[in-house]
Chain A
Amino acid sequence: MTLTPDFLDGNAAAGDLESVFGTDMTVATGRCRGCGQRMSLAQTRAYLRGPGIVLRCPGCESVLLRLVRSADQMWLDTGGLDYLRIPAPQ
């Protein structure tokens, strides 16, 4: 028996990300601080079953982005990314 991996694509976080950022974040691109890989957020590995959103690098598995939401606050950590290039809303 092989264990089925429990991640989704960053694409699956589209709704939650857009409700926070106000624009489609799945086509935003970033570069992993760990391994230098460049990708769109849709291409990351998404872990959505926990209390927030965790996106990991498909290359080196390091955490790229974390978003946790409480009743009145949102915590965003993009420390795993060198930069995040977000398409400007039209």
Chain B
Amino acid sequence: MARTAVSRRLGGGPLRWRAARLTDRRIESEAARTLVFEVPGWPGHVAGQHLDVRLTAEDGYSTQRSYSVASAAEDENVELTVQRVSDGEVSPYLLDDLALGDLVELRGPVGGWFVWRPEQTEPVLLVGGGSGLVPLMAMVRTRRAVGSRTPFRLVYSVRSPEYQLFASELRRGDPGLDKTYVYTRSAPPESPRPPGRVTASDLSSAGWPPDFEPTCYVCGSTGFVEKAAGLLVALGHHPGRIRTERFGPSG
């Protein structure tokens, strides 16, 4: 049922703003919260897609931002995981001021490029930096929800353990999903690797050899994506198999 709804949305049904009600808020990390929205008429999404959130003030000023859908494609509610940008306009508002029961406007889901569909059978490399894990997590959750055996490898670069998203869910483990954490500022004592930015050797030891022809999904701040996608190309991955989603300078 969800599937026919999804194909309707991707097939060019009208894109319009819908009212969405905040029904729950969960703490994910030091700086991030998951917001659960009830969206009547939500047509369903494909893992990796995002939506636009529009906020309108009483004086008519309005602003919009994009957020990835964090939930599995099968989910009825729409979950967003938003990380605070401390001098930001929208993210602190969503985290601190939006109250349960409040409405925002959502438009989407959109984008048919940065997506993973269960029909894909090639190995997958997910490379996420900070909040860039969010759309990749939707792929992991969708893989789990449909019982897919497509091999996934995840390389997650994060400042420190306190900033790690979805930590306990990922710790529970999924068969066929290998995880590697790259801590950039401070690593837990048991971490095999000293803190530092992602390197070519992180991506070659934790990723797939290029001749396995994996699809690589790279998401995070613009700086992180530039770096990681450049390393993948240098390691021999074909640029056409590297899909990127840049969140912005500090996203």
Contact = CB atoms under 8 A, between A and B. Distances in A.
A38 to B, nearest CB: 10
B50 A14 contact: yes
B113 A40 contact: yes
**10 closest residue pairs by CB, A with B:** A89-B12, A42-B113, A90-B11, A14-B110, A14-B111, A15-B52, A23-B12, A4-B249, A24-B112, A26-B113
Per DSSP, chain B at the interface is mixed
A19 B15 CA distance: 6
Contacts of B12: 22-24, 89-90
B245 to A, nearest CB: 6
Interface of B: 7, 10-12, 14-15, 50-52, 64, 66, 107-108, 110-114, 221-223, 226, 243-250
Interface in A6-57: 6-9, 11-12, 14-15, 18-19, 22-24, 26-27, 40, 42-43
B135 to A, nearest CB: 10
A13 to B, nearest CB: 9
Contacts, number: 77
B225 to A, nearest CB: 8
Nearest to B50: A14
A24 B110 contact: yes
A19 to B, nearest CB: 5
